[in-house]
Amino acid sequence: MIYALIISLIFFFMINVPIAIAIALSSIVAIVIKGNIPLLVIVQKMFTATDSFPLMAVPFFILAGSLMEFGGISKRLVDFANSIVGRFSGGLALVAIIASMFFGAISGAAAATTAAIGSILIPAMVRRGYDRNYSTAVQATAGTLGVMIPPSIPMVIYGVLTGVSIGALFVGGIIPGILVGCSLMLVAFKIAKKRGYKGDEKPSLKKVFETFKEAILALLMPIIILGGIYGGVFTPTEAAVIAVVYGFLIGFFVYRELKLKDLKDILTNTVVSTAMIMFIIATASIFGWILASEQIPQVIASAILSISKNPIVIMALINILLLFLGTFMETIAAIIIVVPVLMPIISQIGIDPLHFGLIVVVNLAIGMVTPPLGVCLFVGCSIAGITLEDITKAVWPFLIAMIIDILIITYIPAVSTFLPKLFGM
């Protein structure tokens, strides 16, 4: 039965059946072969998986990000970032990374971050004479910060799956996100300096203050979200709905760039993006149920633990597996399939599930910019009008930096757990 499950899953993936449906089909094949389980379980599991209050944070964070983007937030974040780091060599590249970090603190998705900031900054970098491939590589890798810096949709999913506090994951993501952001800036700066990409003139203090004042309402948002969750005032879902209302009010009444006629598209696109994720969650719950009832995670755990019991070796293997999955598979699907399988190993070698959550999210985020497949690569390329081969040449230095980061995050648990512990989460 288990072979039928795996082989049919690979087959349906190969012929490009959508992930959610491929997972469902392979589960159906397994259930039919097993013979004694009614197919009613399929619709039953799909319903209970989507009938969830914590998962409501997914549409709310997508909607909040989208409202803020249409409401003119991304432009203001870019202006503010420009007034801080625009003066240095490769200034605009640094702006792209800082602005993506700011945007990541509002949005929970990487592709959205790449698109929102990239559509402003990739053309701006090219106009300033930066190499097009370099500009795109900077923005695509910076976009992954969208899922590392809280809020983060993959963290919500991980929390729902494992029972780890979503609030603690959010707080835990702050230092890893900043670490990755800084290392990307370092690489961008070194390359820019070598190639002689000059920065802007140093802006006056007045200018810095003005752009800060324009962006302050956007910058307050993460404080409301994280502060509310940390203070125990809101659940993550409630914080997300506050973000939606806040984003709407600012875009509509303060910045006045949000138009009623955009609203229908914003809403429909939010629903479709949500449904893509929820549909995978729905069908993966059948798949996961089969795996669990056949005790597959335990079998895999003992197989891996028979190779080595050394946590350092095992974590290295798991990192390689996650990077590979992240490259070839959609992030949410990868989390749902692989996390339940790996959990028994993690608990046996004594890794904190909170720490592991951040390892998973950062690894899969790197997968979004690892050629030949990666959602941020695709978004970046389509904005810049370049091919996958072009960006592949330029993205390597950034990837190497990110892989060093993931090693740091893996082997120094405090990077992820220090802040949550400090706040007693």
Partner 1 sequence: MNLFSIVLDRINKTIEWIVSGMLIVMVIVVFLQVIFRFIIMSSLSWSEELARYLLVWISFLGASIGVKRKAHIGVEAVTTFLPERIKKVVALIATLSAMVFFVVVIIWGYKILDVVSNQVSPAMEINMSIPYSALLVSGILMFLYSIENFVNIIKALKGGGIA
Binding residues vs partner 1 (CB under 8 A): 12-22, 24-25, 28, 39-40, 42-44, 46-47, 50-53, 55-56, 59-60, 63, 233-234, 237-238, 241-242, 244-245, 264, 267-268, 270-272, 274-276, 278-279, 282, 328-330, 372-373
CB-nearer residue toward partner 1: 125 or 244: 244
CB 368 within 8 A of CB 374: yes
CB-nearer residue toward partner 1: 140 or 175: 140
CB-nearer residue toward partner 1: 6 or 276: 276
CB-nearer residue toward partner 1: 272 or 317: 272
CB 398 within 8 A of CB 135: no
CB-nearer residue toward partner 1: 359 or 365: 365
CB-nearer residue toward partner 1: 15 or 422: 15
CB-nearer residue toward partner 1: 83 or 270: 270
* Other CB atoms within 10 A of residue 132 CB: 17
CB-nearer residue toward partner 1: 145 or 325: 325
Structural tokens at position 179: 């670490």
143, with CB counted inside 10 A (0-12, 13-18, 19+), is buried
- Say what the alpha-carbon torsion angle 39, 343, 333, 106 is, to the nearest 10 degrees: 130
CB-nearer residue toward partner 1: 90 or 247: 247
Least separation, in Å, of the C-beta of 353 and partner 1?
25
CB 143 within 8 A of CB 118: yes
Amino acid symbol at 312: I
Pairwise CA distance, residues 411 & 180, whole Å: 15
Least separation, in Å, of the C-beta of 243 and partner 1?
10
Least separation, in Å, of the C-beta of 275 and partner 1?
3
Q: Is the peptide bond before 151 cis (omega within 30 degrees of 0)?
A: yes
- Say what the alpha-carbon torsion angle 124, 129, 135, 136 is, to the nearest 10 degrees: 80
Least separation, in Å, of the C-beta of 153 and partner 1?
14
CB-nearer residue toward partner 1: 147 or 278: 278
* Other CB atoms within 10 A of residue 322 CB: 25
Q: Tell me the longest C-alpha to C-alpha distance in the chain.
A: 74
Amino acid symbol at 48: T
CB-nearer residue toward partner 1: 46 or 366: 46
User: Which runs of consecutive H residues, i.e. helices, occur in 231-295?
Assistant: 236-249, 260-293
* Other CB atoms within 10 A of residue 80 CB: 23
Least separation, in Å, of the C-beta of 322 and partner 1?
17
From its phi and psi, is residue 280 left (phi > 0), alpha (psi between -120 and 50) or beta?
Answer: alpha
Pairwise CA distance, residues 186 & 192, whole Å: 10
Instruction: Report angle CA 387, 16, 384 to the nearest 5 degrees.
Output: 20
Structural tokens at position 316: 């290295």
Least separation, in Å, of the C-beta of 331 and partner 1?
10
Alpha-carbon separation of residue 102 from 23, 83, 183 (angstroms)? 35, 14, 16
Least separation, in Å, of the C-beta of 315 and partner 1?
26
Least separation, in Å, of the C-beta of 227 and partner 1?
14
Least separation, in Å, of the C-beta of 373 and partner 1?
6
Structural tokens at position 271: 């629903």
Least separation, in Å, of the C-beta of 256 and partner 1?
21
Structural tokens at position 209: 């203050």
Least separation, in Å, of the C-beta of 425 and partner 1?
21
Structural tokens at position 148: 């590392």
Residue with tokens 């959610």: 20
Structural tokens at position 56: 């409501």
